[in-house]
Structure 1
Amino acid sequence: MEILAYIGIFIVIIGGIGFLIAAFKTSIIWGLACLLVSPVSIIYLILHWSEAKNPFFLQLAGLVIILLSGFIGAEGTIM
């Protein structure tokens, strides 16, 4: 189920790019801060929920796909 994991990673990357685009649309300072300092992204998400919720949920969907591919792949192994 490697292909499913790669699809999930691709979706997470697209969501991250969308999040950065939303931050840069708000202001250059927010964009640079989200790009360079990770905790600022959480603050931006809380303060600008209406702009950041779609990319955030896209990243969550990608993470779920990655986790599901890990569980599906783990079922095929014998311990």
Structure 2
Amino acid sequence: MSALLMGLMIVGGLICFGAGLWLLVLAFQESVWWGLGSLLLSPVMLVFVILHWNKAKVPFLINLGGLALVIVGAVMLPNYGPPTASVPAGY
């Protein structure tokens, strides 16, 4: 089960990477300054998405979907780890 969850996290990470790259290409297509700002400062990418919602909504929503996969995998993964060592009652 943990291999499935790790796979889910890897797929989600790859989706996030691809959608982020797509957003970066859109920012560079708008102008070099949007592209450089988005590449160097994460909040600039968010401002770009807000101001250019019509062009950026699809990759942004895909990015959120990939992030959801990573979060689900990360939250469920500790439940399938190896059992913890128990401390004897005398200590």
TM-score (norm 2): 0.77
User: What is the aligned counterpart of 1:23 among 9, 27, 30?
Assistant: 27
Higher relative contact order, structure no. (Cα contacts within 8 Å, ≥ 6 residues apart): 1
Tell which structure's C-alpha radius of gyration is larger. Answer: 2
Q: 1:73 maps to which residue?
A: 77
TM-score (norm 1): 0.87
Runs of 4+ aligned residues of structure 1 deviating over 6 Å after TM superposition are none
Shift of residue 71, structure 1, vs aligned partner? 2.8
Q: Tell me the alpha carbon deviations over residues 17-52 of structure 1, each in whole angstroms, 9 at most, x when there is no partner.
A: 010011011111111111112221121111111111
Tell me which protein shows more helix as a share of its residues. 1
In structure 1, the gaps of 5 or more residues are none
Q: Tell me the distance in 1 between the aligned counterparts of 2:29 and 2:80.
A: 45
Q: How many percent of aligned residue pairs carry the same amino acid?
A: 34
In structure 2, the gaps of 5 or more residues are 85-91
Q: What RMSD over aligned residues (CA atoms) do the two structures have, in Å?
A: 1.4
